[in-house]
Structure 1
Amino acid sequence: MPESTGPLAGVRVVDLSKILAGPYVTMSLADMGADVIKVEHPDGGDPTRKWGPPFNGPDATYYLAANRNKRSVTLDLKSPEGQAAVHRLIEDADVVVENFRPGSSLADDFSFERLSEQYPKLVVLNISAFGETGPMKLEPGYDMVAQASAGLMSLTGEPDGPPLKAGFAMADLSAALFGTIGLLAALVERGRTGRGQYVTTSLFETQLALHINWSTGYFATRERPKRLGSGHPNLVPYQAYPASDGYFVIAVGNESMWQKLCHNIDRPDLLEDPRFASNADRVTNRKALNVEIEAALAGRTVDEWCDLLGKVGVPVTPIRSLDEIYESEQTKVLGMIDTVDHPVVGPLEQIRFPVNFRGERPVLRSAPPTLGQHSRDILSEIGYDDAEIDKLIGGAS
């Protein structure tokens, strides 16, 4: 692996997590320069390696999405020998990331209470489904369970249709992002105090944190929010609308934009209608207004409307698919896609880290590792000889 020069160069992370939330945290740390050692069970490793199709080489593309810039070592964490090896790794580590099921033997074996006694400077991040306290703390959870239980699905979908999950794994990814923030804050604090920290978050808690204006609206009115399709609870018109050949988005955020919209869709009369006089009026009369707007938009194409309205300062955009986005000039200019060499499949395209440091985006140093790809190197680094390594990992790499 090429030497890291990122802002977290010199930070070592032992990644005991699996699936998505934890691995996305550690990939983000690795993208920023940390040395991340991914510990996997010898029998199959991270379950997402098999979450396909599609597959690219031996692993599912789901696994390949969240594990680049890491090194993989295979150890059985339930064996005394495997646990001893992990402790050797942790001796030189700054961070441990884990998402052991609450109440499991591994959660006990690698609890912060035990680890902090031996490694007082260690920062430990735990990601769970529902948090460490409360009646749901022992329940298992995947992204869709969290989206349902924490309200996202109740807000997603058409008003007269079924609830829908978000297209992205929003529960997992939001837990990963908040977990990363908490972990980095703990490292800053350690720099002041010299003491480690136990950082916890959950898929459930981070969904609540993202409710934002939905929650404050509910607290003010105590009315259960309803699904609005692509609509906004506090702004109208602010959603997807049909043109003659498809859908596009109009996002009116102030009265000036509203006036420009009405004039340029040839409906200046809407400005005189008392039902639509202010944004508050338009929110109240959302259905009636949308009937009028949809009728006015029916005669032109998406491209025609986006060209016309965009030129006068009304925020509009076509609804683009992923293939269009990845091939777009904006994506290319930002340098958001790059290729890294995978030891089995060769060139592998990846979405890069979305933050620049000193004007430069972190480089892709290495592809997501194959299972146990770096076992021998890592175990040798922490003092095992060849015979001991053979005993620990058998014929693995």
Structure 2
Amino acid sequence: MIELLQGVRVLECAMLPTGDQTSRLLGDLGADVIKVERPGVGDYLRELGDRITPQNSVFHLLCNRNKRSIEIDLRLDEGRELFFRLLRTADIFVDGFAGNACELLGIGYEAQRAVKPDIIYCQASGFGRRGPYSQIPVHGYMMGAVGGQVALTKDPDGVVRENVNPGGLYFSGSIDGPLSTALYGALTTIAALRRRDLTGNGAYIDAAGSDAVLANQCLDAVMTWNADRITDRRNPPPTVGLDPRKHPKYTYYETADDRTVLLAAIEHKFWDNFCRAIDRPDLVDVKNTTFAVDFADGGKADLLDELIPVFRSKTAAEWVDIALKWDIPLSPANGKAETLTDEHLRAREIIHESDHPVAGPYTSTGWPAPVSGQPFDVARPAPALGEHTDEVLGECGLTPDDIAGLRARGVTGRQP
């Protein structure tokens, strides 16, 4: 498994993907993540969406892997005392609740810093703590709405619809707000950990989904925000969502085996390579802004129409071989199901197969930045509620009798 954060302990209070994935990323990198959950309730991500077995949704198995679960009732004084005892052993706290929920429970940043001055506190929420929207409860699409991701149309009857495959002007694709928040939150947390090692100072990190969605569209955003300042528009990036006839050098084509490939030969050198590969020297001088091909006999043809039968003459695998041989930006265009059999993705081990002790076989994403000599694996499958309560409290020095007393008083959950 990846051991880059081995020896780092993370406490997490979170429900749903935003906070869950922030600490999951740290756990994937080797941190010891302890998920603190309310007795008898826990993270309702276990039951959200399609379930493989009861309490084991496909989302839970991903978002809560590489964690241990402990039940503590933070509404009780004794529960908070137990939490702070555990906090003293931690390096990082991940707050996945909205607004000031942890403060209301008495375990907010200032309360934690009083007990653990160098704690790195990362709150990962939809709209963040600072700003007028901070107390609004947030779901994932709301992060995209505020962050400028959605493209809307309005019907004459007043119905507002989101466009299919909404995206930016130049860069397409749907942006996952909760995961984007987690990525920026986890990255900043690790940077704060490095700073703490040098200075001894902790940090408070306020990661927001709406910010993350906007940051992931930064290239589109700067093009929009600086449009009035642009003085030279001779080399714009190719736009998305337009008729392929308007950008035939950068679009999708059907292959002989009913697959799809994406050609992206917009630079002159790559277009020249492509023309040589298909033995069409007559197409070399077709500029990006010229969509009709003029032939020596005076005839004209649309470039897209010229290329469609060319691509249909070979399989997707054959086109990949040509791309490798001739140095052409061309790749398969996979659907989600097709990624499972893509030989490149398999070789990179981003498709990860595991076996959950209750849910059984499970396929998920691995780690997208492999570490040499440290192959990714799931060290701890997504836990049942309170599964590790006795184990973690025992590590804090509590005896079996102590733990039994806590259970009897309702501070922790029942015996799993």
Give the deviation of 1:177 after TM superposition. 0.9
Q: Which amino acid aligns with 1:396?
A: Q
Give the deviation of 1:341 after TM superposition. 4.4
- Counterpart residue number, 1:37: 34
The question of whether the paired residues in 2 share the 8 Å contact of 1:40 and 1:73 is answered with yes
For 1:187 and 1:313, locate their aligned partners in 2 and report how far apart those are by CA, in whole Å.
42
2:78 to 81, 96, 101: 81
Q: Which amino acid aligns with 2:85?
A: R
For 1:111 and 1:231, locate their aligned partners in 2 and report how far apart those are by CA, in whole Å.
52
Q: Tell which structure's C-alpha radius of gyration is larger.
A: 2
Question: 1:306 aligns to what SS in structure 2?
Answer: helix
Does 1:375 pair with 2:389?
yes
The question of whether the paired residues in 1 share the 8 Å contact of 2:15 and 2:44 is answered with yes
- Counterpart residue number, 1:298: 308
Q: Which moved more, 1:300-309 or 1:139-148?
A: 300-309
Q: Which amino acid aligns with 2:122?
A: L
Q: Structure 1 length normalisation: TM-score?
A: 0.82
1:104–1:336 CA distance, 2 compared to 1 (3 A): closer
2:337 to 314, 317, 323: 323
For 2:176 and 2:243, locate their aligned partners in 1 and report how far apart those are by CA, in whole Å.
19
Give the deviation of 1:19 after TM superposition. 1.1
Give the deviation of 1:328 after TM superposition. 3.4
For 1:50 and 1:78, locate their aligned partners in 2 and report how far apart those are by CA, in whole Å.
24
1:49-76 per-position Cα deviation (integer Å, ceiling 9, x unaligned): 1112142453111111111121001223
Give the deviation of 1:18 after TM superposition. 2.0
1:251–1:112 CA distance, 2 compared to 1 (3 A): same
For 1:12 and 1:43, locate their aligned partners in 2 and report how far apart those are by CA, in whole Å.
24
Q: Which moved more, 1:121-130 or 1:70-79?
A: 70-79
Does 1:387 pair with 2:405?
yes
Does 1:68 pair with 2:65?
yes
Give the deviation of 1:393 after TM superposition. 3.0
- Counterpart residue number, 1:213: 219
Give the deviation of 1:220 after TM superposition. 2.7
- Counterpart residue number, 2:296: none
Q: Which amino acid aligns with 2:251?
A: Q
The question of whether the paired residues in 2 share the 8 Å contact of 1:74 and 1:371 is answered with yes
The question of whether the paired residues in 2 share the 8 Å contact of 1:100 and 1:106 is answered with no
2:272 to 259, 263, 269: 259
For 2:342 and 2:379, locate their aligned partners in 1 and report how far apart those are by CA, in whole Å.
25
For 1:267 and 1:120, locate their aligned partners in 2 and report how far apart those are by CA, in whole Å.
69
For 1:106 and 1:337, locate their aligned partners in 2 and report how far apart those are by CA, in whole Å.
39
1:85-112 per-position Cα deviation (integer Å, ceiling 9, x unaligned): 2222112111100122114464562221
Q: Which amino acid aligns with 2:394?
A: S
For 1:19 and 1:351, locate their aligned partners in 2 and report how far apart those are by CA, in whole Å.
18
* Stretches of structure 1 lacking an aligned partner (at least 5 in a row): none
Q: Structure 2 length normalisation: TM-score?
A: 0.79
For 2:194 and 2:106, locate their aligned partners in 1 and report how far apart those are by CA, in whole Å.
27
Question: 1:228 aligns to what SS in structure 2?
Answer: coil
The question of whether the paired residues in 1 share the 8 Å contact of 2:390 and 2:403 is answered with no
Does 1:203 pair with 2:222?
no
The aligned runs of 1:270-281 (5 Å cut-off) are: 271-272=284-285, 276=287, 281=289
- Counterpart residue number, 2:170: none
For 2:81 and 2:264, locate their aligned partners in 1 and report how far apart those are by CA, in whole Å.
57
For 1:117 and 1:236, locate their aligned partners in 2 and report how far apart those are by CA, in whole Å.
62
1:356–1:237 CA distance, 2 compared to 1 (3 A): same
Give the deviation of 1:335 after TM superposition. 3.3
Q: Which amino acid aligns with 1:68?
A: R
Give the deviation of 1:161 after TM superposition. 8.5
For 1:260 and 1:15, locate their aligned partners in 2 and report how far apart those are by CA, in whole Å.
52
Give the deviation of 1:13 after TM superposition. 0.7
2:260 to 247, 261, 271: 247
The question of whether the paired residues in 1 share the 8 Å contact of 2:69 and 2:386 is answered with yes
Give the deviation of 1:312 after TM superposition. 2.7
For 1:77 and 1:203, locate their aligned partners in 2 and report how far apart those are by CA, in whole Å.
26
Give the deviation of 1:249 after TM superposition. 0.7
For 1:298 and 1:110, locate their aligned partners in 2 and report how far apart those are by CA, in whole Å.
62
Q: Which amino acid aligns with 2:39?
A: P
1:229–1:100 CA distance, 2 compared to 1 (3 A): same
Question: 2:150 aligns to what SS in structure 1?
Answer: helix
1:242–1:152 CA distance, 2 compared to 1 (3 A): farther
- Counterpart residue number, 1:355: 369
Please state which structure has a larger fraction of its residues in helix.
1
For 2:56 and 2:388, locate their aligned partners in 1 and report how far apart those are by CA, in whole Å.
16
Number of residue pairs matched? 377
Q: Which amino acid aligns with 1:296?
A: E
For 2:61 and 2:194, locate their aligned partners in 1 and report how far apart those are by CA, in whole Å.
30
For 2:182 and 2:162, locate their aligned partners in 1 and report how far apart those are by CA, in whole Å.
30
Question: 2:195 aligns to what SS in structure 1?
Answer: helix
1:103–1:180 CA distance, 2 compared to 1 (3 A): closer
The question of whether the paired residues in 1 share the 8 Å contact of 2:95 and 2:122 is answered with yes
Give the deviation of 1:205 after TM superposition. 1.2
Superposed CA RMSD: 3.4
- Counterpart residue number, 1:229: 241
The question of whether the paired residues in 2 share the 8 Å contact of 1:243 and 1:302 is answered with yes
* Stretches of structure 2 lacking an aligned partner (at least 5 in a row): 153-160, 168-172, 230-236, 293-300
1:149–1:262 CA distance, 2 compared to 1 (3 A): farther
Q: Would you identify which runs of 4 or more consecutive aligned residues in structure 1 move more than 4 Å?
A: 105-108, 165-169, 262-273, 337-341
Q: Which amino acid aligns with 2:315?
A: D
- Counterpart residue number, 2:178: 172
2:56 to 59, 62, 65: 59
1:32–1:49 CA distance, 2 compared to 1 (3 A): same
